[in-house]
Structure 1
Amino acid sequence: MTPARLDHCKEILERLIAFETVSTDSNFEMIHYLAGLLTESGATVDVMTSPEGGKANIFATLGESRQGGLLLSGHTDVVPVEDQAWSSDPFKMVEKDDRLYGRGTCDMKGFIAACMASLDVLKDASQYQPIHFAFTHDEEVGCLGAHTLVQEMRERDLRPRLAIVGEPTSMRIIEGHKGCCEYTVTFSGTDGHGSRPEIEVNAVEYATQYVTRLLEVRKELEARAPEGSQFVPPWSTINVGALHGGSAHNVIASKATLEWETRPVNMADLNYVKDEMAACQNALIDRMHSVSSKADIHLEIIGETPGLEPMKNNEARDLVSTLTGANGSDLVPFGTEAGLFQGLGMDVVVCGPGSIEQAHKADEFVSLEQLDLCLDMLARLPRALAASA
């Protein structure tokens, strides 16, 4: 890649890092900056404000058609920096030893910066197929922006054919990852003196019975592992993250809160887990009501993000193999927005600059070499799309 383009990418990335788009805060400034760059390049740009306000997604298109083509996707939010021992201001990019340091450099503003620095070549590529951009909010807290964007795309019948999600993969081609579904369960019992547990509903006791069934289902999932699964472990998993409840040794607990997640390898396993735990919840409620009609259990869905299921035929994988020269592809344990786009019928891969080992840590960085490889990949798009037109 030419030094001038890499320098341009660094300038854009420095601007992006300065936008403090922690998931708890607004991403408006960054979104409007990106919208300006895209508009100047001739793209059709939609800024879609979130239902609750304060945040937004971008869907933009270079080229005449809004159907088919290639989608380049990235999230604009970053994780917090509190209680991390940074060597410098995390929102001021620092270059040192051929690395660029700052919150979001690899996860995943580096990819977005590379896209923006390549708008001229992407505009050339759009004469063969439309090039779409999807930049979202709140990926780090449940892919909230992508859920909204995908629904909007479905309603507007916006259907790119291929997608590259630029999460940090060290520019490896990733064609699969598990889903990530998170839940909070609140148990409401009745309090009373610890000497008469038989006349009250102990919320902690019912929460532990729920957990017991969760652990049984977790074991059952091992036997459901798809034949030839390449995931590690090859089956869907369940994790009990936190259990809070009660107030004292001699007081019957009236409240308990359970936080748990499942990472399914496919939708069939997710549906199995949900069906089994719904049956468990109903049975526990019946037993609670036999003591007190005031008792209850409430399940809150924090986020349900589908996985990216590996496909035998995947045009996106083949395209990125051509662009990068890579001969193979991998699976990863972490989640992305890719499965949501796959759910719209797209062929999808995850491929972006930087290592996931640097994400979410103090002194997060992306190397200049990785950015250069990403810029090279994008620069090859016009020829690759022309050949397939």
Structure 2
Amino acid sequence: MADRLDVAWMHRKDLAELVAALGPGNARYVGGAVRDSLIGLPVKDIDMATVLHPETVLARLEAAGIRSVPTGIEHGTVTAVLPGGPVEITTLRHDVATDGRRATVAFASDWQEDAARRDFTINALYADPLDGEIFDWFGGRADLDARHVRFIGDARQRIREDHLRILRYFRFQARFGSTPADDEAESACADLAATLKGLSRERVGMETMNLLGLPDPAPTVRRMAQLGVLAVILPEADPEGLAALVAAETAQRHRPDPIRRLAALLPAKPALAEQVAARFRLSAAQKKRLSLAASREGEPGEPRALAYQLGREPALDRLLIAGIDASALDGWDIPQLPLKGGQIVARGVGAGPEVARILHQVVDAWIAEGFPDTARVEALLGEILAGRPA
């Protein structure tokens, strides 16, 4: 087990300038960047912890010519805007009071005290930005190597401090965990599942969607159902529908899609899908897509015809949820009908509802024939006009 962290991103010039601006010994990398680097995963976001108060951080960054944004200054967080990507810098903290939804914090100067207020051992790993020395007070390295997701300290107490940690536990279990899972964590999550009702719907929805976006959340979601957690946040869900979709996505090499996976968890009831979208505070576009997926009845039909009628993503949703081969859509651009209403009028049809009726007939025939070219569309129009009553 290496005692130091040495990965490519740590040698970025802009990060070296940031560390120099904060001063030696004043800051350490923490959390996901350290955790993911230790197991060879790509790093998306870089966070730092510092003994400096936020006002001092802002002043030092300004003096060094580094742009900063006080994104959460009341909680001690300043974001340094670097060429390689933003870095959140948060002053060491300890909790003064918690109510399960939010915490009142005070700034601290002790690294271990800051680590102790974090949720899981694998998230309480720090690394010195200069020599890569790793700081681990709670066995996070061993847990990471064993793929063991474990709360720091007493699991029930940590959940009482922040109820969202129940969902975070399952997300981290789905991403990093092995089986069997941590007994204490599962027991605490099951016993305190009802506390999730006190959280904002937006926080619950965001955490749930993050879970569903992981490569294979199906076993974890099934376990959430067994423990009574899923019934609190999504009582309408059927975990087996998700498992079937993940299998189809994997077999057909489609990337995980949280909206599609949420649709697979729900019954085919558009009104219910819209209620869930509102509950999770989804966007209007996401709500529409969820409703379209819930409108599925019987077989989806020919893939390209479905994509023309609904759009590519809604068609993929229906096809994959049904376990049907969607390869016909690979690299296929949805065409536009090479016919306008004016062309029908030019063929002697009076403007009005009759034009729309004929246009619909042409569209139906065009789809049925697999979207033929302009010449065939004109021939189809001629056949339809020839069959009109005199």
TM value normalised by structure 1: 0.24
Q: Which is strand-richer, 1 or 2?
A: 1
Relative contact order, CA 8 A, sep 6+: which one is greater? 1
Q: Which is helix-richer, 1 or 2?
A: 2
TM value normalised by structure 2: 0.24
